[in-house]
Structure 1
């Protein structure tokens, strides 16, 4: 039986066991709700948002009996039980409203409980997991969207608190001024919030207008000179020497990664995930599923031929750079990338210098050597959109042309 599902009289139901310590609070041992379908595939699609909402109720109840969230969770259960006893939603709502009005002096929070219980006020933290369960992005993107929307929900308790003016102030004062986020990052956060808002409108009858119109300035107010100074910069010959010298005495793999980056122009994640099956005696086969241009051949530069041969011979896990660990997103570059970040910071480089700066350094050397742009683009895995070289050339160049071009790169 699929998780969280049970079948009764040909129909599928969502079920979730309530933790023992909270069963007294909810007055039952588990949640159960019809998914209104006889189709298993439909039930599997509908069940996770329901489960996510129940889990939010449980988490609210964990906060304690005195919390507003816990009381709302209890009232939701009482409302559900009243429906099962034959009461209509209108009767339940009116009974709750009468009770909250009569008790407003002794229990001023009861009116808020009524509004939340019956969906007139939407607590923005309540439905985040239900929304996340509907997303079909990669896990890393999903986690980022969850973080962005949670940040929004912590600032605005109820949906009706998030007016356009209030969101503008949140973006300008919290995100930009206090957190010093870029405008691009702010737009990403607002985009996630807009998606969550649409979910609330469709699934939870939110009738407040979306408050995100023109909340992020269209362009930075920084001067052109300052904005240019904060752009990523490329490493030059002296920078490369500094990095290699700084990496001495530490783990050998960091020095090896720097050399590979400098003489291939490859991205850090491309190098760290490169399997030995993609390493030949004279070339590396880079397979980047993100873009068609990312699938390319990089000749092995003479300066790193011995390094590549040694790494291949001594690998213990089937990767060119052996021994790196995966993070939860199956990314082998995360940990060593952070070590590179600490190294370059220790050497005095700021946020405008990153591992990608080696790639920019390779591009600069190719340009200085007079390498045609289409050849440099093939080596670096860039899109090349001109009519002749981009559309009709098919992306292939003779290996000898690529090899001659890359040999122009020299960090000695």
Structure 2
């Protein structure tokens, strides 16, 4: 029966005494008073390779002796008639897990031994035909190699790497849920790049770029956790995955601007929120990102009130932008977390039935689109949006140079809110 050997160790069921090899089959504890701890048979060879072949001649004989002893002593297990059993990877893994590990240490002599319960399960699977099922074969292989399914990996990873916020932990859970819905709750060892890309393309429809990137990053972290102790590991199938995603997962679609009707509808959704309402208005009249709305300071430069942003997403994000008339009495909230506000904004948009893909960042796109419609020169728009150096180093602080020119374009931006 070599096909069922499992080959957990090269010396499975083998024992060497002097120069000779023996086949040694463990006896269930309830029969040891009758048969002893092992059934042993000399294999009449000192060659390990030959011993590995001959052990399978005695193995079925030993199992038959054990079954005979069980019947003789009235110890044969009696099982109730079973109805149809689920034939799926998850069901097979559950049964294998219940049977226990493939190998455990014998407390008598400290040596590894095969798990009789697992052997019995495999025997039943062969008789029922389950052993021919590809899901059973995969489940058995993963069980013997002690591979954790992805939900178990997630639990272990978060226990060892606790996240600072509940939102981050929830994002990990959401990502794994999406993975399981697409590929099942299985180990990550056999994931190929094409399988990973197929999944990312499927779940990225209508999602923002940052969300898609987060999906790939979470799965990459979990994959690396699985292989953390490996001397050599294959290529991470989730590494740089967003760069290969379909067009439907790219930023241009995810960060589409709000139409005028959508902008009115979105503003109504945040009108009662004392934190999101002012941030909403600041963004559509400055093009600031959410974090920039909260970080910008107000200063008077060249007789003009301006937003001054000293740091940002990139080196060019530091910029000065004249305050639009609509924002004269609007003040950004303090003490709030941008991540929490972003999540809250998304929930309000879904509740208001705003089309998928419209995020807070889409408000920045609305400002950009307004400048384009006005015919704003590209160089000026780039400076207003932080895509090119505005020129704090050019002396804006001391002379207010360029502020008046920028204000002409900012004041011409108009929205229906």
Q: TM-score, normalised by structure 1?
A: 0.51
- Name the SS for the 2:341 alignment partner: coil
The 1:214/1:107 distance shift into structure 2, 3 A limit, reads: same
2:303 corresponds to 1:321: no
- 1:256-277, CA deviations, whole angstroms, 9 ceiling, x for partnerless residues? 4443223222123432x348xx
How many residue pairs get aligned? The number is 304
- Report whether the alignment pairs 1:159 with 2:187: yes
Can you list the C-alpha shifts for 1:336-359, whole angstroms capped at 9, x where unaligned? 45435645x4xxx53465443442
Bigger CA radius of gyration: 2
User: Which residue of structure 2 lines up, in the alignment, with residue 301 of structure 1?
Assistant: 324
> C-alpha offsets along residues 261-296 of structure 1, whole Å, 9 cap, x if unaligned?
23222123432x348xx3446233335554333333
The aligned runs of 1:194-343 (5 Å cut-off) are: 194-203=220-229, 218=244, 220=246, 230=253, 232-235=255-258, 246=268, 250=272, 255-271=277-293, 273-274=294-295, 278-280=297-299, 282-286=305-309, 288-305=311-328, 307-308=329-330, 311=331, 320-321=332-333, 326=337, 331-336=340-345, 338-339=347-348, 342-343=351-352
Query: How far, CA to CA, are the matches of 1:75 and 1:284 in structure 2?
Result: 65
Change (3 A) 1:254 1:341: farther
In structure 2, stretches of 5+ residues that fail to align are 1-90, 131-135
For 2:401 and 2:361, the matched residues in 1 are separated by 26
TM-score normalised according to structure 2 size: 0.51
Q: Which residue of 1 aligns with 2:114?
A: 95
Aligned with 1:127 (options 132, 147, 153): 153
Partner residue in 2 for 1:381:
386
Deviation track 1:109-142 (CA, whole Å, cap 9, x = no partner) reads: 9x99986666354433333344456769986666
Q: Report deviation, 1:401.
A: 1.4
Confirm or deny: 8 A CA contact 2:191 2:237 kept in the other structure.
yes
Whole-Å separation in 2 of the counterparts to 1:228 and 1:210: 24
Q: Answer whether contact 2:306 2:320 (CA < 8 A) is retained.
A: yes
Partners in 2 of 1:213 and 1:241 — Cα distance?
40
Distance 1:287 1:83, change over 3 A: farther
Residues 172 and 218, structure 2, Cα contact 8 Å, conserved in 1: yes
Q: Secondary structure at the match of 2:150?
A: coil
8 Å contact 1:371–1:405 — kept in the other structure?
A: no
Q: 2:175 aligns with which of 148, 161, 170?
A: 148
Cα distance in 1 for partners of 2:295, 2:188 equals: 50
